[in-house]
Structure 1
């Protein structure tokens, strides 16, 4: 399948401009998930494309940011994302004029800056990585959720007649939230087309795992790594939070004199509300 180009977005990509920067300096500019948080900027153009085989390693690395050290076969999950490339996009840097997309010296595997898609974890429940995700969700709910939420998680993951979609919205930290708008607009369109073709993308429930940071025990403020996801919390049927400090390479990083603790917030939605969720994230981006 040929690549699709959703929308070019000119953004400030906060990457180091110094190719010879020492390893120790680079490490000091990483957050608890291993994302770059330095203050140097490099302007670049990005576009959304269909996932391809050459994107495997880049997708797997982004999935590691989300799942950290959880017992999930991220290689198999990356293959699923590529196999269903008619739904979802990866974010790639636009090529300069005259640069060949099939350059033998660059297979593109390290050039994936984001991935946005949804996976049917009911239809694919017999695939090992999906089994691992389902087990992970039930275990995390058992350990972190209230009784009502535990019951809901067990219910939706045990009823094969009600399909559950796992939304994946992951990107390198320094890519602005604005890029999520065309990516989710494209995902909306692709899901609608898939449903019209009787493909299994009608979801009764959606599960969305958000990367968040807590500012401390005395503060109720929760920071979302992907800013556009912030308003979604109020729309969730249920949610619970997981402290992932022990899984992160760095437990905390400084924030205005304090420290941020890395967490995951698991949100559960009515599947029919997907279009409304996309509207909310778009409004959040526009209001920033």
Structure 2
């Protein structure tokens, strides 16, 4: 496929700072010695000669403890070769590794490829055991496995777009709305060009976590009770808004789940237990979900 647009020229640049201060760089007298670091983030098309390793690193973070169960190299190849859909977010130069990425894959189109077939099986299994999230009109178990099976069979009636997104943990949320907005525009352009991106549903894969008691502090019974009572939190705060537009959403434990590392609670009393998070969004609701992200991040920032 030909390149539809040049993001280096068209993408809005972000200019977040590490500390919120007055626009003229001043602050109150107690902060006179504080330095301001301006960072320009730019969005780029995928480049198969540059982005493989950066995308694979972020995929490894996205799938966490289960990354070893999936062919992330093959999946990274598919993502970077699809250079007209999705974005990487970088600092300084296109040749650098991505700090964030976003893309969507047509599961029907790629169903015969090993990395995608493997991922479909993985997500189907996780959807069947996922715990429901408040606000969902139905469970993942009742919807996602059937849709993924239809995609695997080559159904023309069901077209599932698998949305994969991840960013470094210290990335500012302000870089996210332009990436999602551009994805919507690119999908529209691709459909106009008769490319296979006219989806009926989107499955969005992300991560969440719960705060749990450390093994150094309590018995196994108390740890289990604390885990059951703890509230699910989001690594990506915009997921909490997007899920309100989802037909179904749920969280699931990683197959290769590790014990909570006490190093993850260096400055707090609780440990962090990561888990997978999945949302099913109907195509008619997808643009509204993206708008909700834009509105939320504006308030969040």
Query: How far, CA to CA, are the matches of 1:245 and 1:140 in structure 2?
Result: 9
Matching residue of 1:46? 41
2:247 is the counterpart of 1:237: yes
Structure with the higher helix share, 1 or 2: 2
Which protein is bigger by CA-based radius of gyration? 2
Deviation at 1:240, TM superposition (A): 2.1
Structure 1 stretch 48-57 or stretch 237-246: which is displaced more?
A: 237-246
The residue correspondences of 1:129-168 to structure 2 (distance < 5 A) are: 129-144=115-130, 149-159=140-150, 160-161=155-156, 162-168=158-164
Matching residue of 1:74? 72
Cα distance change on mapping 1:141 and 1:192 into 2, 3 Å: same
- Preserved CA contact (<8 Å) 2:85 2:103: yes
Question: What do residues 220-252 of structure 1 show as CA deviations (whole Å, max 9, x unaligned)?
Answer: 532211111211222221122112384469646
The residue correspondences of 1:111-260 to structure 2 (distance < 5 A) are: 111-144=97-130, 149-159=140-150, 160-161=155-156, 162-216=158-212, 217=227, 219-244=229-254, 246-247=256-257, 251=261, 253-254=264-265, 256-260=268-272
Structure 1 residue runs without a partner (length 5+) = 15-39, 96-100, 102-106
- Preserved CA contact (<8 Å) 1:212 1:225: yes
Structure 1 stretch 253-262 or stretch 142-151: which is displaced more?
A: 142-151
Structure 1 stretch 169-178 or stretch 211-220: which is displaced more?
A: 211-220
Question: What do residues 132-167 of structure 1 show as CA deviations (whole Å, max 9, x unaligned)?
Answer: 110001111233357953231221012222010111
Query: How far, CA to CA, are the matches of 1:117 and 1:13 in structure 2?
Result: 27
Matching residue of 2:221? none
Structure 2 residue runs without a partner (length 5+) = 20-34, 133-137, 213-226
- Preserved CA contact (<8 Å) 1:88 1:116: yes
- Preserved CA contact (<8 Å) 2:16 2:172: yes
Equivalent residue of 2:58, what SS? helix
Deviation at 1:3, TM superposition (A): 4.9
Query: How far, CA to CA, are the matches of 2:130 and 2:142 in structure 1?
Result: 12
- Preserved CA contact (<8 Å) 2:130 2:140: no
- Preserved CA contact (<8 Å) 1:123 1:163: no
- Give the number of aligned pairs: 251
